Structure 1
Amino acid sequence: MSISFNQRSDVIKLLQISSGLTSESGDPRFKQIMHKMLENICQVIDQFDVTQEEFWHAVNYLHALGGRQEAALLAAGLGLEHYLDLREDAQERAQGLEGGTPRTIEGPLYVANAPLSDRFARMDDGKDAGEIMWLHGQVKGEDGQPIAGAIVDIWHANTLGNYSFFDKSQSEFNLRRRVKTDANGRYAARSIVPSGYGCPPDGPTQALLNQLGRHGNRPAHIHFFVSAPGHKHLTTQINLNGDKYLWDDFAFATRDGLIADPVKITDSALAAQRDLPGTHTEVTFDFNLYNASASAEENRIERARALQD
């Protein structure tokens, strides 16, 4: 029986040295992870007889990916970010937790420190002629009671599928706001109906997806962080029903329980009550948060973001 190349003693020794397993310094867990990754890469090279040219093409791809700052985009597109959510879902089920708002991916386009308002915020700067959207809902806890003072952090794209900060033509924090819920746990925001969008067509993420025979499109959606003292931080987003890519999101973010129905409002009295000029689209979405078992669960995960607070 033949021995795989990566099982040879000289290769085993190489991987042990390169991952630091023969050194007493360094982080033990990190070294174990690196050793496993290197071992798996060597197994792939061995199994598919990867050539030198193919290997260096992959290395150069990583250069391009970093140069375009699309690593987080690719992580979403390959389903890895969604996989992390599935793992946390399974952990919560094992703990007997159910009934909370589903989590889904954060994506790479959050910007910290958006303006904070009580109960209501206007999110758009009025420069985009998109359809007016009235977004509102309620935040509740496990006991079904409203959570006053919860922070609903909202961000979404404009009608061209672009996000402020990354799109320099938009004003600062356009379509980005944080809203503190009132005594009844309610929040509301005036904005514009967002559009879906695709990966940059000339970027490395789309180039890889092309090789997989996949598109890089996302449906129209709205991102949220929802947090409150004593409750688990929620990272989620809602996709707008009726979009062509609703169930074909390249980033795997569409989930049961996270689909909102846009409703056309023509009632002039309701528009006036909301201080809107007339016909608009209403999007309603409520959130249910789990109790936190440790203070760390109240905070969003640490990762590189724009304008960190």
Structure 2
Amino acid sequence: MSVKTMNTAQVQSLLKKVAGMDKEGGDERFKHIVHRVVRDLYQAIEDFDVTPEEFWSAVYYINDLGKNGEAALLAPGLGFDHYLDIRMDAEDEQAGLTGGTPRTIEGPLYVAGAPLSEGFARMDDGTVEGETMIFTGVVTDEQGQPIEDAIVDIWHADVKGRYSYFDPSQSDYNLRRRIKTGADGRYTVRSYLPSGYGCPPDGSTQLLLDNLGRHGQRPAHIHFFVTKPGFRHLTSQINVAGDKYTYDDFAFATKDELVVEAKTVSASPNPWDIEGDYKKLEFNITLLNAPNETAQERHARVRALEADAA
């Protein structure tokens, strides 16, 4: 079909009515965003000659996406989380706020209120046989001085790529801990090496990725928030070196500075009562001074149990 309708008075009037621009009230910014998004979708329909069958297939796909609860999984898969990071990194550079440990995406599986420990914590509940891991490092300021009383909030998947709370077979807060650093700035957790994971194979996200010729796999990784009054909040994660998907993460979270080798250690006795070999990952974290109070807080979004933990 070669008809062109976007620039007609009929369609332009329709767009204004759809966005409420012919009415008083409402939020002006919201109206303009809706107008832009709907306009661009109309334009795509025209440019690609989208059929009614294709359009309604997309509508019902969105219905299924909501039923599956996968919208927050599809967002990083389409690069939105990474794009927001790119924008924030660019804003930082423009404001001269570069340096420190790089941010990267949070993901949708954080749960607030994990148990708080001083300096060290064991993260697993002891019910699963996995490859024992020590994950440790020092939190410092821009001058390399240790930061005391920083909170390192850590979470990761189990050996099957599943997360507690979202996987009801796991105990509460399994593989989720908050560590308060001591005067030396060090945090240490004992856990087991996490596994990477893939999107649900029959889910909405994987269906879309299949049509793009893409996989839905994430490498083994460990998430963390780091907070301390006076310093900028850090949202980041490390990827384990050597994983098949370390540099092919469907969520685009990999940064070279955040890839960490899991080194095999044979040392007995050791401070953690580990028998035999274990994996050790060491990752030091640098926080930047906060230019304002807002920079000390993580951005607002819906997170599991956050209201209860506040």
TM-score strictly above 0.5: yes
1:149 matches 2:149: yes
How far the C-alpha of 1:293 sits from its partner, in A, is 1.0
Q: Which residue of 2 aligns with 1:113?
A: 113
Q: Which residue of 2 aligns with 1:251?
A: 251
1:298 matches 2:296: yes
How far the C-alpha of 1:24 sits from its partner, in A, is 1.7
Aligned positions, number: 306
Superposition pairs for residues 190-205 of structure 1, below 5 Å?
190-205=190-205
Superposition pairs for residues 174-213 of structure 1, below 5 Å?
174-213=174-213
Letter in 2 for 1:257: E
Q: More displaced, 245-254 or 88-97?
A: 88-97
Q: More displaced, 205-214 or 279-288?
A: 279-288
SS at match of 1:134: strand
- Equivalent residue in structure 2 for 1:289, among 267, 287, 290: 287
User: How far apart in 2 are the matches of 1:274 and 1:87?
Assistant: 41
Letter in 2 for 1:47: D
Superposition pairs for residues 93-112 of structure 1, below 5 Å?
93-112=93-112
How far the C-alpha of 1:73 sits from its partner, in A, is 0.6
Identity of aligned residues (%): 56
User: How far apart in 2 are the matches of 1:235 and 1:43?
Assistant: 36
Q: Which residue of 2 aligns with 1:134?
A: 134
Q: Which residue of 2 aligns with 1:267?
A: 267
How far the C-alpha of 1:3 sits from its partner, in A, is 8.4
User: How far apart in 2 are the matches of 1:87 and 1:151?
Assistant: 26
How far the C-alpha of 1:256 sits from its partner, in A, is 1.6
User: How far apart in 2 are the matches of 1:142 and 1:84?
Assistant: 24
**Deviation string, structure 1 residues 242-284 (Cα, Å, up to 9, x no partner):** 1011100000001020011101110113x2x222223211010
RMSD (Å) for aligned C-alpha atoms: 1.1
List alignment gaps of at least 5 residues for structure 2.
none
Letter in 1 for 2:157: A
How far the C-alpha of 1:95 sits from its partner, in A, is 1.8
How far the C-alpha of 1:92 sits from its partner, in A, is 1.1
List alignment gaps of at least 5 residues for structure 1.
none
User: How far apart in 2 are the matches of 1:259 and 1:150?
Assistant: 22
| TM-score (structure 2 length as normaliser) | 0.97
User: How far apart in 1 are the matches of 2:279 and 2:290?
Assistant: 34
SS at match of 1:63: helix
User: How far apart in 2 are the matches of 1:22 and 1:185?
Assistant: 58
Q: Which residue of 1 aligns with 2:11?
A: 11
Q: Which residue of 1 aligns with 2:277?
A: 279
User: How far apart in 2 are the matches of 1:198 and 1:44?
Assistant: 30
Superposition pairs for residues 47-58 of structure 1, below 5 Å?
47-58=47-58
SS at match of 2:125: coil
Superposition pairs for residues 33-72 of structure 1, below 5 Å?
33-72=33-72
**Deviation string, structure 1 residues 17-69 (Cα, Å, up to 9, x no partner):** 11011112011111110100010000000100111111111010000101111
User: How far apart in 2 are the matches of 1:97 and 1:184?
Assistant: 25
User: How far apart in 1 are the matches of 2:4 and 2:79?
Assistant: 30
SS at match of 1:50: coil
User: How far apart in 1 are the matches of 2:284 and 2:169?
Assistant: 32
Q: Which residue of 2 aligns with 1:233?
A: 233
